[in-house]
C-alpha cells in the first residue's frame, strides 16, 4: 500500500495535469517501490487511482524493462546486452554474474539479494561493458570489479539508489 505522503503527492500531480493517465509509469514505480514489485494487488491499486482497468495498466507495465510483475531480489542487476557492451564482453559479464551468483537470468538468489536481467541498452556505452544495479550504472566491468561490487552489496557497504 502506498504511504499517505506518496498517495497525496500522486493525487496532487494528477490534479495538476490535463491527462492524469500520463502519470501511469510514475504511479507504477511508486507502487513497485512500496510492494517490491508490481503485484496484482498493486496493479489494481494503480488502476483504481488512474481510472484505468487493471488490464490497461498491465499493458503499459509489460512494455517497460524496469517494472517488475514478479518478485525480484533486493538488488536488480540489469546487464547490458547492447551491441557496444557485447563488443566489449557483455556476454562474459552476464555469464560471469550468473555463474558467480548461482542463478539463471530472471531468477532470485537463495539469499533474496540478487536478480539478473538483460537490458537492451543502458546508455553507458562509454563505460562498456556495463550494468545497472537498482538503476545505478557501473562500468567498465571486469570479473574483479564485479566481485568487488557484489561483495560491497552483500555487506551493505554499497546501497545503490536511483534518482527515481
**Do 130 and 99 fall within a single domain?**
yes
Q: What is the mean pLDDT of residues 152-156?
A: 94
> How far is residue 9's CA from residue 14's CA, in Å, rounded to a whole number?
9
Residue whose C-alpha cell is 510483475: 69
Length of the chain in terms of residues written: 164
Q: Is residue 70 part of a domain?
A: no
Burial class (CB in 10 A: 0-12, 13-18, 19+), 63: exposed
Is the pLDDT at 163 greater than 60? The verdict is: no
**Do 104 and 57 fall within a single domain?**
no
Q: Is residue 162 part of a domain?
A: no
Tens digits of per-residue pLDDT, 33-49? 999 999 999 999 999 99
Is the pLDDT at 1 greater than 90? The verdict is: no
Task: Show the domain range for 49.
Answer: 4-61
C-alpha cell at 90: 557483455
Query: Are 84 and 128 within 8 A, CB to CB?
Result: yes
Tens digits of per-residue pLDDT, 110-129? 999 999 999 988 999 999 99
**Do 25 and 90 fall within a single domain?**
no
Give the count of domains, the chain.
Answer: 2
Peptide bond into 13 cis (omega under 30): no
Query: Are 78 and 122 within 8 A, CB to CB?
Result: yes
**Do 89 and 56 fall within a single domain?**
no
Q: Is residue 53 part of a domain?
A: yes
What does pTM read for this prediction?
0.86
Burial class (CB in 10 A: 0-12, 13-18, 19+), 115: buried
**Do 90 and 128 fall within a single domain?**
yes
**Do 92 and 129 fall within a single domain?**
yes
pLDDT recorded at residue 27:
96
Instruction: Using DSSP, state whether 46 is helix, strand or coil.
Output: helix
Is the pLDDT at 164 greater than 50? The verdict is: no
CATH of the domain at 14: 1.10.10
Residue whose C-alpha cell is 558467480: 100
> How far is residue 85's CA from residue 89's CA, in Å, rounded to a whole number?
6
- Looking at 61, 83, 101, the residue that finishes a domain is 61
Amino acid at each position: 500500500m502506498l504511504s499517505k505522503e506518496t498517495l497525496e503527492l500522486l493525487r496532487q500531480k494528477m490534479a495538476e495535469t490535463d491527462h492524469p493517465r500520463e502519470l501511469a509509469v510514475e504511479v507504477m514505480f511508486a507502487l513497485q517501490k512500496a510492494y517490491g514489485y508490481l503485484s496484482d494487488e498493486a496493479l489494481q491499486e494503480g488502476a483504481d487511482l488512474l481510472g484505468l482497468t487493471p488490464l490497461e495498466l498491465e499493458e503499459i507495465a509489460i512494455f517497460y524493462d524496469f517494472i517488475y510483475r514478479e518478485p525480484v531480489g533486493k538488488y536488480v542487476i540489469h546487464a547490458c546486452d547492447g551491441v557496444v557492451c557485447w563488443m566489449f564482453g557483455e556476454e562474459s559479464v552476464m555469464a560471469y554474474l550468473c555463474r558467480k551468483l548461482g542463478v539463471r537470468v530472471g531468477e532470485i538468489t537463495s539469499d533474496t539479494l540478487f536478480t539478473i536481467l538483460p537490458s537492451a541498452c543502458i546508455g553507458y556505452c562509454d563505460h562498456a561493458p556495463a550494468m545497472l544495479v537498482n538503476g545505478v550504472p557501473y562500468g567498465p566491468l571486469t570479473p574483479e570489479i564485479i566481485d568487488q561490487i557484489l561483495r560491497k552489496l552483500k555487506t551493505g557497504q554499497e546501497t545503490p539508489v536511483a534518482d527515481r
